[in-house]
């Protein structure tokens, strides 16, 4: 039987004034990873979290920090996020001149590298990167904001990524991010996803709901 899907709550939807408590609450509710959305107002039209905040939340997280960099240029900041406590660092090919080099650099820092594909980025983009990544992240919304609707065409891309990962024979996580709810989660899992990021669907209703919200995403 396939391993159960892992759930990565995006703290973008958490109460930013109480991030430590929010992380403890989602971990107690069953979170497998903590997804950190880093935005710079340049690569994406929103500004969120920098390395100082990652460093501040690190002692509050028992689960790995999955740091999604939506910043350009990305290379000058990768080491700062690694030192701040990121465990997984994911980058968009559009965010720097040499994504292959960026992924090598993340690995050289002892962190798990991942590549992220926007809805408009072709799946073939990962073909020459598979030996360098521990995670492939398919965006099912355009990056920048929580609370957007799932883009259906990305289901086919998840399935295409699944085939490529299986062909490597390596243990590469297949993560989906954006518009995940109990209904879209099922279809992502059926297409081969192994990690689901969810902000709105996890944090809605307050801490008393987190366990039920996370359980509902497991299918």
Question: Which residues make up the interface to ligand DX5 (CB under 6 A)?
Answer: 10, 12-13, 35, 37, 68, 141, 143-144, 146-148, 177-180, 197-201
Cβ proximity to ligand DX5: between 38 and 104 the closer is 38
Cβ proximity to Zn ion: between 22 and 37 the closer is 37
Cβ at position 38, least distance to Zn ion in Å: 9
Phi, psi of 172 (to 5 degrees): -115, 125
Cα–Cα nearest to 69, from 123, 132, 31, 114? 114
Query: Binding to Zn ion by residue 68, rule CB under 5 A?
Result: yes
Peptide bond into 106 cis (omega under 30): no
C-alpha to C-alpha distance for 159 and 74, rounded to whole angstroms: 28
Q: Which of 32, 40, 134, 177 is catalytic?
A: 177
If contact means CB under 5 to 8 A according to the sort of partner, which of Zn ion, ligand DX5, none does residue 161 touch?
none
Active site residue 177: yes
Cβ at position 99, least distance to ligand DX5 in Å: 18
Tell me which DSSP letter residue 199 carries.
Answer: S
Cα–Cα nearest to 32, from 54, 55, 9? 9
Q: Do residues 93 and 121 make contact, with C-beta atoms less than 8 angstroms apart?
A: yes
Query: Binding to Zn ion by residue 177, rule CB under 5 A?
Result: yes
Q: Which residues bind Zn ion (CB under 5 A)?
A: 37, 68, 177
Catalytically active residues, by annotation: 37, 177
């Amino acid at each position: 039987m396939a391993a159960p899907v892992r759930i990565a709550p995006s703290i973008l939807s958490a109460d930013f004034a109480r991030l430590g408590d929010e992380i403890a609450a989602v971990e107690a509710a069953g979170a497998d990873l903590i997804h950190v959305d880093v935005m710079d107002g340049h690569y994406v039209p929103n500004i969120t979290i920098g390395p100082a905040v990652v460093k501040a939340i690190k002692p509050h997280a028992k689960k790995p920090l999955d740091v999604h960099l939506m910043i350009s240029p990305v290379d000058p900041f990768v080491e700062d996020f690694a030192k701040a406590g990121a465990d997984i660092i994911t980058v968009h090919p559009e965010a720097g001149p040499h994504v292959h080099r960026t992924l090598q650099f993340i690995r050289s820092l002892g962190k798990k590298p991942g590549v992220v594909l926007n809805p408009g980025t072709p799946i073939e983009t990962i073909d020459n990167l598979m030996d360098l990544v521990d995670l492939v992240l398919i965006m099912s919304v355009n990056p920048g904001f929580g609370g957007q609707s799932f883009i259906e065409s990305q289901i086919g891309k998840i399935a295409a990524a699944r085939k490529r990962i299986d062909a490597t024979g390596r243990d590469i996580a297949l993560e989906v991010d954006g518009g995940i709810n109990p209904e879209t989660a099922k279809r992502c899992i059926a297409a081969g996803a192994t990690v689901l990021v969810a902000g709105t669907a996890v944090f809605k209703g307050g801490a008393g709901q987190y366990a039920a919200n996370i359980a509902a995403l497991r299918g």
